[in-house]
Amino acid sequence: MKAFRVKGTAPFGQQRQAFSMDLPAADAADAEHRVYSIMGSRHNVTRRSVHLQSVAEIDPRTSQEPSVLHHFREAIAAAGGPLAPSEEE
């Protein structure tokens, strides 16, 4: 399993809104399928109305998503803990 960050847009209410989702998946196609599944179950959005812009593999230590941190908790601990996000000035 690897960690992926999926970015795209979906209709939420009467307007389209951008979203970003971090999740563990076997490959990029599995990550896309999981995003469609999550959006459909949580927001009642059809697959046709979700437009994905990018699917990228990420380092699990950079994610703040609890499901990613839980799935990779042993690897994160072995690598020295999570990476702190860079602070903006």
For position 65, what pLDDT does the model report?
Answer: 94
Token pair belonging to 42: 């949580």
Contacts of 51 (CB under 8 A, 6+ apart): 8, 9, 10
Q: 12 has which bridge partners?
A: 15
Q: 19 has which bridge partners?
A: 8
pLDDT tens for 32-60 read 999 999 999 999 999 999 999 999 999 99
pLDDT tens for 9-23 read 999 989 999 999 999
Taking all residues of the chain, what is their mean pLDDT, rounded to a whole number? Answer: 92
Look at domain 2-78 and name its CATH class.
alpha beta
For position 80, what pLDDT does the model report?
Answer: 85
For position 87, what pLDDT does the model report?
Answer: 53
For position 85, what pLDDT does the model report?
Answer: 65
Q: How far out from the chain centre does Cα 36 lie?
A: 11
Domain spans of the chain, in order of start: 2-78
Q: 20 has which bridge partners?
A: 7
According to DSSP, residue 86 is labeled P
**Residue keyed to tokens 């990228």:** 56
For position 56, what pLDDT does the model report?
Answer: 97
For position 88, what pLDDT does the model report?
Answer: 52
